[in-house]
């Protein structure tokens, strides 16, 4: 059963009526055959870019990449990438074909695609499946189109795309494709970091990432050498039943698929190998590994060219992953204020995942902290300057200026978070007045 947005069918029909071949291709065919809604649509056609533009003039057209043959055709808000059938020339640098040429043959266009499940086309006449993609979909197998080594030599990113699709779809990787991945992965050094990071991020957020990261640890160690020492590193500690890497991957698979959280879980113990000590009883310890790991993760995230927000979230989570929260209102309020609500709950999730991947499993403490934090938030406590019952205007009206305004308000917020003052305007104005007097006299002395 193949269901598809009617606006896409309109575009295919428009091209057919003008006498051109036109098919849906790639990921949208795969997803529709799997019964999931495609998140975007690619169409391949025998029409040349200028012909696409003139035939589709009733729609809004954006010449996204005319030299590659791609026009984005937008029909009632739905963008469809329409691309002239292409065939690739020779590859020389393991990432780009020397030249790309247009072809009137759908078969050529399908043959240059990476995996059989991504190399099918669909039109109203049915599925065009030249490489056994439908059977592979049914059997949940990921397999290269053509000879795997050659396809990975041409464009090494396909190695990582293969692992990514397997991690998203839960497919097994065909033995020939798998052994080519194990031999060809050093070719990934020819691929730009941005392309690698895009695929790797999708991989670790995949539902089935655990299995892939464990079975292809050689590829992971190549991409993230900081993780190599954690592989097979026995922890000699009764709380742990896995080596550091296996524990980290299992912890990662317990987190929800948000990039910063998954990365933090995967990397949370990278500081451990350098911090390992063994006591007289033969028990292993890893003092200070969170701080060291946070520093290593900071550099690693920079190398991956992740955005600053993600990097800072990863570093904070790793730095804080060993904090033991006491179940008291005052302390939880303090942490909610320090970390912000979202990061606080992300940290709890990381800690829960960390515990779940240990010998003893999840303790009762963390769910209790979660409940308490939820109850505290339901009371709408003041945790940020924005929520404070006085503001900068009040401070100015009372005679404060410059840096003193921020200092005074931050101090008031601290007192409110700690429960030493209520968040009530008259009381806070009194406190602010006092501070204005103190700062004023300090200023005069200076």
The residues, any chain, with a CB within 8 Å of residue 241's CB and separated by 6 or more, are 358, 359
Least distance (Å) between residue 71 CB and Mg ion: 16
Please choose which of Mg ion, ligand ATP, none residue 253 contacts, taking the beta carbon within 5 to 8 angstroms, the exact cut-off set by kind.
Answer: none
Burial label, 336 (beta-carbon count in 10 A; 0-12, 13-18, 19+): buried
Q: Is 199 in the site for ligand ATP (CB under 6 A)?
A: no
Report the site for ligand ATP in 374-413 (rule: CB under 6 A).
Answer: none
Least distance (Å) between residue 83 CB and ligand ATP: 9
Least distance (Å) between residue 258 CB and ligand ATP: 17
Least distance (Å) between residue 257 CB and ligand ATP: 14
Least distance (Å) between residue 122 CB and ligand ATP: 12
Please choose which of ligand ATP, Mg ion, none residue 155 contacts, taking the beta carbon within 5 to 8 angstroms, the exact cut-off set by kind.
Answer: ligand ATP
Q: How far apart are CA 161 and CA 365, in angstroms?
A: 40
Binding mask 6-45 for ligand ATP (x = CB under 6 A): --------------------xx--------------x---
Q: Other C-beta atoms within 10 Å of 317: how many?
A: 27
Q: Is the dihedral of CA 100, 27, 258, 228 positive or negative?
A: negative
Q: Is 69 in the site for ligand ATP (CB under 6 A)?
A: no
Q: Is 257 in the site for ligand ATP (CB under 6 A)?
A: no
What pairing do the DSSP bridges indicate for beta strands 141-142 and 172-173? parallel
Backbone angles phi, psi at 94, to 5 degrees: 60, 20
Q: To which residue do tokens 């200076």 refer?
A: 446
Please choose which of Mg ion, ligand ATP, none residue 136 contacts, taking the beta carbon within 5 to 8 angstroms, the exact cut-off set by kind.
Answer: none
Q: How far apart are CA 160 and CA 138, in angstroms?
A: 22
Among 45, 118, 253, 423, binds ligand ATP (CB under 6 A): 118
Backbone angles phi, psi at 320, to 5 degrees: -100, 5
Least distance (Å) between residue 387 CB and ligand ATP: 40
**Binding segment for ligand ATP among 9-17, 98-106, 113-121, 130-138 (CB under 6 A)?**
113-121
Q: Is 354 in the site for ligand ATP (CB under 6 A)?
A: no
Q: Is 113 in the site for ligand ATP (CB under 6 A)?
A: yes
In which element (H, E) is residue 346 found?
helix 341-356
Q: How far apart are CA 253 and CA 268, in angstroms?
A: 13
Output the CA–CA distances (angstroms, integers) from residue 37 to 3, 40, 302, in the order listed: 8, 9, 34
In which element (H, E) is residue 42 found?
strand 41-45
Please choose which of Mg ion, ligand ATP, none residue 346 contacts, taking the beta carbon within 5 to 8 angstroms, the exact cut-off set by kind.
Answer: none
Among 157, 180, 205, 252, binds ligand ATP (CB under 6 A): 157
Least distance (Å) between residue 41 CB and ligand ATP: 9
Q: Other C-beta atoms within 10 Å of 270: how many?
A: 26
Report the site for Mg ion in 19-48 (rule: CB under 5 A).
Answer: 27
Q: Which residues pair with 75 in a beta bridge?
A: 78
Residues near ligand ATP, by CB under 6 A: 26-27, 42, 113-114, 118-119, 155, 157-158, 161
Residues near Mg ion, by CB under 5 A: 27
């Amino acid at each position: 059963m193949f269901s598809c947005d009617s606006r896409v069918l309109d575009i295919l029909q428009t091209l057919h009526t003008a006498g051109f071949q036109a098919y849906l291709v790639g990921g949208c065919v795969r997803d529709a055959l799997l019964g999931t809604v495609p998140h975007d649509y690619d169409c391949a056609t025998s029409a040349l870019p200028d012909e696409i533009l003139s035939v589709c003039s009733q729609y809004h057209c954006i010449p996204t990449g005319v030299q590659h043959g791609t026009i984005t055709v937008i029909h009632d808000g739905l963008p469809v990438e329409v691309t002239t059938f292409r065939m690739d020339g020779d590859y020389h640098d393991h990432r780009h074909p020397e030249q790309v040429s247009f072809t009137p043959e759908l078969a050529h266009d399908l043959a240059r695609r990476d995996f059989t499940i991504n190399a099918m086309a669909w039109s109203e006449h049915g599925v065009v499946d030249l490489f056994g993609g439908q059977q592979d979909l049914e059997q949940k197998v990921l397999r290269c189109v053509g000879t795997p080594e050659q396809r990975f030599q041409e464009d090494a990113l396909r190695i990582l795309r293969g692992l990514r699709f397997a991690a998203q779809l839960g497919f097994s990787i065909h033995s020939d494709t798998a052994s080519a991945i194990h031999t060809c992965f050093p070719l990934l050094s020819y691929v730009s970091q941005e392309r690698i990071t895009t695929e790797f991020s999708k991989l670790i957020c995949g539902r089935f990432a655990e299995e892939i990261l464990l079975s292809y640890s050689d590829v992971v160690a190549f991409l993230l050498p900081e993780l190599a020492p954690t592989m097979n590193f026995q922890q000699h500690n009764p709380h742990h039943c896995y080596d550091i890497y296996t524990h980290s991957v299992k912890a990662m698979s317990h987190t929800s698929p948000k990039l910063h959280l998954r990365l933090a879980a995967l990397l949370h113990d990278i500081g451990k190998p350098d911090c390992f000590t063994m006591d007289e009883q033969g028990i292993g310890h890893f003092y200070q590994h969170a701080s060291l790991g946070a520093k290593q993760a900071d550099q690693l995230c920079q190398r991956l060219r992740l955005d600053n927000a993600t990097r800072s979230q990863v570093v904070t989570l790793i730095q804080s992953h060993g904090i033991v929260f006491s179940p008291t209102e005052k302390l939880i309020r303090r942490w909610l204020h320090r970390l912000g609500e979202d990061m606080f709950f992300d940290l709890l999730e990381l800690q829960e995942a960390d515990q779940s991947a240990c010998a003893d499993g999840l303790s009762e403490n963390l769910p209790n902290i979660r409940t308490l934090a939820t109850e505290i938030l339901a009371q709408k406590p003041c945790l940020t300057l924005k929520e404070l019952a006085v503001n900068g205007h009040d401070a100015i009206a009372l005679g404060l200026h410059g840096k003193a305004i921020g200092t005074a308000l931050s101090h008031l917020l601290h007192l409110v978070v700690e429960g030493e003052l209520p968040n009530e305007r008259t009381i806070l104005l009194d406190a602010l007045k006092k501070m204005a007097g103190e700062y004023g006299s300090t200023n005069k002395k200076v």
